[in-house]
Homo-oligomer: A and B are copies of this chain.
Amino acid sequence: MRQQDKNELRPWQQKLHEVIYEADTPAGKLFDIILLIAIIVSVLCVMLESVPEYNKLFKDGFIYVEWGFTILFTIEYVARIVSIKKPVNYIFSFYGIVDLLSIIPTYLGIFITGTSSLMVIRSLRLLRVFRILKLGVYIKEARVLTNALAASRKKIFVFLFAVVMMVIILGTIMYLVETPEDGFTSIPRSIYWAIVTLTTVGYGDIVPKTELGQFIAAIVMILGYAIIAVPTGIVSREIYLADQDEKVTNIACTNCASEGHDEDAEYCKYCGEKLG
């Protein structure tokens, strides 16, 4: 018989846990949908507040709405803490910190006057949306993509390192070729130009004017146009494999319990046992 635990949740805590943490029950689903809407609306308010016209018109409105959401999220934060067995695990988890950061800026605004820099923290609320989506139908897709990106991590790093090298050397060359009057005022700014060009963004705020500069720029462009193939090739392959892994049978060897056998495998590749 299962022992009575000191940490055992009381009935009302269990009920709360069900609503907040479990998405399968009707109450849990409703809670998730309300939370999703609240997060999106609160982020929209942060955005609209920054538009000068709206800010003039509804200055007080934005303050009231902001406090409304803050109090709502504070209640939710407290509810999450009291309805879990080990609150410390939650508080210091990624989502625990994001949840706290969602409510702190408004409270800090009482004491600090220049709160505009807290705005970016408030927009981090959006990250909370991930938790809710995690429970949805996109869980497998998101896993395949993150697995693919994780698997191509090292290759992407090597590629980005080579790109950084290239833009530094190309930026330095352009700094010498072009005059400061055309925007190439320093090596860092010339490197910025090289990044703008190599990634095919091409703002046009800094452009080469001399023949030699335009010739080098043309080479940078063709280079950028060609090497974009590299990350694509890397990630293509990993997505292919990551999705493949979902195709590997989940038959476990009856002898050594190893998994990950190919679909056409008849014998365990680790111990030679005939597979079921």
Are A47 and B233 interface neighbours, CB within 8 A?
A: no
Are A265 and B270 interface neighbours, CB within 8 A?
A: yes
When all copies of this chain in the complex are counted, the total is 4
Are B176 and A117 interface neighbours, CB within 8 A?
A: yes
A127 contacts across to B, CB distance below 8 A: 165
Known: A207-B203, A221-B196, A267-B269. A188 touches B126 (CB 8 A): no
Which residue of chain B lies nearest to A140 when distances are taken between CB atoms in the complex? B154
A261 contacts across to B, CB distance below 8 A: 269
A274 CB, nearest partner CB in chain B, Å: 6
A240 within 8 A of B: yes
Whole-angstrom CA separation of A133 from B233 in the bound complex: 23
Known: A234-B239, A271-B267. A214 touches B201 (CB 8 A): no
A140 CB, nearest partner CB in chain B, Å: 8
Known: A160-B226, A221-B201. A154 touches B126 (CB 8 A): no
Interface 9-residue window, one of A6-14, A25-33, A141-149: A141-149
Interface 9-residue window, one of A56-64, A77-85, A166-174: A166-174
A257 CB, nearest partner CB in chain B, Å: 12
Whole-angstrom CA separation of A250 from B270 in the bound complex: 17
Are A119 and B269 interface neighbours, CB within 8 A?
A: no
A266 contacts across to B, CB distance below 8 A: 269-272
Whole-angstrom CA separation of A239 from B186 in the bound complex: 37
A59 CB, nearest partner CB in chain B, Å: 15
Pick the contact of A214: B168, B189, B199, B237 (CB < 8 A).
B189
Whole-angstrom CA separation of A176 from B120 in the bound complex: 8
Tally chain A residues at the interface, Cβ within 8 Å. 99
Known: A138-B157, A204-B203, A272-B267. A187 touches B233 (CB 8 A): no
A95 within 8 A of B: no
A1 within 8 A of B: no
A177 CB, nearest partner CB in chain B, Å: 9
A197 contacts across to B, CB distance below 8 A: 201
Are B47 and A176 interface neighbours, CB within 8 A?
A: no
Are A168 and B123 interface neighbours, CB within 8 A?
A: yes
Are B226 and A52 interface neighbours, CB within 8 A?
A: no
Whole-angstrom CA separation of A266 from B97 in the bound complex: 46
Are A221 and B199 interface neighbours, CB within 8 A?
A: yes
A119 contacts across to B, CB distance below 8 A: 172, 175-176, 187
Which residue of chain B lies nearest to A144 when distances are taken between CB atoms in the complex? B155
A-B contact list, 11 entries, CB within 8 Å? A119-B172, A126-B169, A142-B158, A149-B230, A195-B221, A199-B222, A202-B202, A228-B228, A230-B239, A232-B233, A266-B269
